[in-house]
Amino acid sequence: MYINPHFAATERVFPEQGRYAYSRYDMNENPEGLPEDFVESVKNKITPEFLATYPEPGRFAEKYARFVGVEPANIMTTNGSDMAIRYLLETFGEPGSDVVTVAPSFEMYRINCSLLGLNHVPVSYNDDLSFDTQKIVEAIHSGVSVVSVLNPNNPIGNVFSADEVETIIRKANSVGALVILDEAYHYFHDVTFLPFIKKYDNVVVLRTFSKCFSIAGCRLGVIIGPESIMRMAVRGRLTFDVNSIALLFGEALLDAPHILERLIAMEKEGKAYLISELEEKGYSYMGGAGNYIFIQPKTSPKELEQRLKDEHKMLVKTFGHPLLSKYVRVSTGSVTSMDFFLKAFFAADIF
């Protein structure tokens, strides 16, 4: 039996199951989710006819285009931005070519490169977790087909300036490479590089409804880019990629901008509270441009992670990467959810 050798060579580790039983501060979701009454009002629109009918992403795409100030032809909906990354690498990643990303970064860039026979070129952070943009620029040459920049980056919550990003875009443009600007954490960090899609024809922006919009379970992502790029990106798309329930919730959220404003304000307030409590107790932390923060615990991060899980039914994330091994990463949310986290964290961080 034939097995695609790239698939055979790619090891996968899927997220842990059974997370509903825990308080979830490990995957940059909203720990509490959307307001109950809003979810109820949307659920009421789910009828047997609605469920029996194939999804139509057109109306959502039109609304979303208006929401971000582009044309519908600049939009493509995807089954989470996870799928957007796959589509873009399939369409614009020339087999055998290099794909440049910062490292550490969101794992799915590396994994999709491995699955698709692309050569992932990780450009590392410095030991003090600062990043030298010039190193990305230098990694871009004629054998590079795609460059990805995450702003803010995940896991390290640093941000790039518009000048730094434009320098990367120009260099990529000179060698005919696509630049993916992954803005999964937009709205927590309000700077966007969306204007670059009107200035350069080798740039796309990725957005997701999993983070600030708080519907990770629905799977809704969006690629925003110049028409010339979108015309090609759409060719590999599964016919019914995004499901109707995701589109329904996505539309309802766009129709209720006060919900988004409230989500942004609550997370900001919660993060400020978390930081002030940590500072008061003398903890070091870093990042914070997205809905997550790295805290340096007094005890071993792995032990603390296990203790929080076993004794407090709470999930946080630790990393094997040497640059991150002394931290735990914690998703941020409202003051209430941060208070709940801190009580467990302070109780568990004993040494």
Ligand X SMILES: Cc1ncc(COP(=O)(O)O)c(C=O)c1O
The site for ligand X (CB under 6 A) is made up of 28, 80-82, 106, 150, 154, 182, 184, 208, 210, 216, 221
Closer to ligand X by Cβ: residue 85 or 338: 85
Closer to ligand X by Cβ: residue 31 or 349: 31
CA-to-CA distance for 241 and 258, rounded, in angstroms?
28
Closest separation in Å from C-beta 233 to ligand X: 16
Closer to ligand X by Cβ: residue 28 or 337: 28
State the virtual CA torsion across 246, 247, 249, 253 in degrees, nearest 10: 130
Closest separation in Å from C-beta 15 to ligand X: 10
CA atoms within 13 A on the CB side of 294: 18
Closer to ligand X by Cβ: residue 210 or 337: 210
What does 44-92 look like in DSSP terms, one character per residue?
Answer: TT--HHHHHSPP--HHHHHHHHHHHTS-GGGEEEESHHHHHHHHHHHHH
Closest separation in Å from C-beta 158 to ligand X: 12
Closest separation in Å from C-beta 106 to ligand X: 4
Closest separation in Å from C-beta 311 to ligand X: 27
The Cα-based distances of 138 to 141, 147, 190, 336 in angstroms read 8, 12, 28, 45
- What residue has token string 């329904």? 248
Q: Are 223 and 78 in contact (CB under 8 A)?
A: yes
> Which 3 state secondary structure label does DSSP give 274?
helix
CA-to-CA distance for 59 and 54, rounded, in angstroms?
14
Q: How many CB atoms lie within 10 A of CB 321?
A: 13
Closest separation in Å from C-beta 216 to ligand X: 5
Burial annotation 118-152 (CB, 10 A radius, 16+ → b, else e)? bbbbbbebeeeeebebeebbebbeeebbbbbbbbb
Closer to ligand X by Cβ: residue 55 or 221: 221
The count of residues in the chain is 351
Largest CA distance in the chain: 61
Task: Please give the residue whose beta carbon sits closest to ligand X in the complex.
Answer: 80
Closer to ligand X by Cβ: residue 192 or 300: 192
Closest separation in Å from C-beta 110 to ligand X: 12
Q: How many CB atoms lie within 10 A of CB 167?
A: 16
Closest separation in Å from C-beta 310 to ligand X: 25
Closer to ligand X by Cβ: residue 109 or 196: 109
Closer to ligand X by Cβ: residue 216 or 314: 216
Closer to ligand X by Cβ: residue 50 or 240: 240
Closest separation in Å from C-beta 65 to ligand X: 18
Report H helices in the chain.
5-8, 36-43, 48-52, 58-68, 80-92, 107-116, 133-139, 162-174, 196-199, 227-233, 244-255, 257-280, 301-312, 335-348
Query: What sign does the dihedral 182-184-187-189 (CA atoms) show?
Result: negative
Tokens for 47, please give them: 């009828």
Closer to ligand X by Cβ: residue 205 or 348: 205
Closest separation in Å from C-beta 111 to ligand X: 12
